[in-house]
Amino acid sequence: MIRTRVKICGITRVVDGVTAAEVGADALGFVFFEKSPRYVSIECAAEICRNIPPFVTKVGLFVDASEEMVRDVIENVNIDLLQFHGDESPEFCQKFNLPYIKAIRAKCKESILEAMQAHSNALGMLIDSYVPGVPGGTGSTFDWQLVPSEYRSKIILAGGLNCANIVDAIKTIRPYAVDISGGVESSKGIKDREKIYQFMKEVASADKIY
C-alpha cells in the first residue's frame, strides 16, 4: 500500500504540535511570515519543536524573507526543511544547506511546469491555490487537473483540503503528500484535535483504495 504523507501547517501552539505528531502527521509547518494570522516567533517555534518527537519533520515557511532572517531561524529553531512561498529564486533557496520545498500557486499548467523545472533541485513542490495577494493559507481549492501527473513523487498537494474532499483529492492526484492548514482549525492558527484525527483517518482510507 502506498502511504500519502501528511503535513500540517500553521502550528502556533505546543499542544497542537504534540497532538498532530501523536495522531501521525509526518511533518509540521511553522509560518515565519509576520502578515500571516499563523505567524510564529522564533522563540515560540523553538519551544514547540523542543516538544515534538524526533521523527516528525519540522518545516520553516518563508515569504520573500531576507537571507538573514532565514539564517536566524535555522540557527535558533530545530527545523529540518525550508519552504518558500514567494518569488525566491532557485539560487536563494539553495543557499542554506538544508533541503527545501518550493510552493507554487496554481495559475496555469505552464507556470507550474516552468517553476518545477526551475526548482528541479527542490525536495518537493507544494502546489497551492492562486488567490491574488495571498501567498498561502487561502482555504481555497483549485482545479486539480492543473497538477502535472509526471511529477507525482515530488508533489505536495495543498489548498482548501479538508475531511470532505481529501479522499477525492488523493484519488485524483495521488500526490506524494498533502498539506493542510485551515481545514483542521477551529479558528486561524488554532488547530482542532478532532479535525486532525478525522483528516488522518480519511487519508488512511484513501490510501487503502489504491
Residues that bind ligand LARABZUK (CB under 6 A): 9-10, 29, 31, 33, 36-38, 61, 63, 85, 128, 135-139, 158-161, 179-183
Q: Dump the DSSP string for 55-93.
A: TSEEEEEESS--HHHHHHHHHHS--SEEEE-SS--HHHH
C-beta separation of 25 from 6 below 8 A: yes
Output 174 or 191, the one with its CB closest to ligand LARABZUK: 191
Output 60 or 135, the one with its CB closest to ligand LARABZUK: 135
Question: Among residues 4, 73, 6, which one has the least CA distance to residue 39?
Answer: 73
C-beta separation of 59 from 29 below 8 A: yes
Q: How far is the CB of 126 from ligand LARABZUK (least distance, A)?
A: 6
Q: At 100, phi and psi to the nearest 5?
A: -135, 155
Q: How far is the CB of 37 from ligand LARABZUK (least distance, A)?
A: 6
Q: How far is the CB of 104 from ligand LARABZUK (least distance, A)?
A: 11
Give catalytic status of residue 44 as yes or no.
Answer: no
Return d(Cα 39, Cα 144) in angstroms, integer. 28
Output 27 or 52, the one with its CB closest to ligand LARABZUK: 27
Give catalytic status of residue 108 as yes or no.
Answer: no
User: Which residue out of 93, 128, 163, 179 is catalytically annotated?
Assistant: 128
Q: How far is the CB of 18 from ligand LARABZUK (least distance, A)?
A: 19
Cα dihedral 150, 155, 158, 161 sign = positive
Q: Is 156 helix (H, G, I), strand (E, B) or coil?
A: strand
Output 181 or 198, the one with its CB closest to ligand LARABZUK: 181
Active centre residues (catalytic): 9, 128
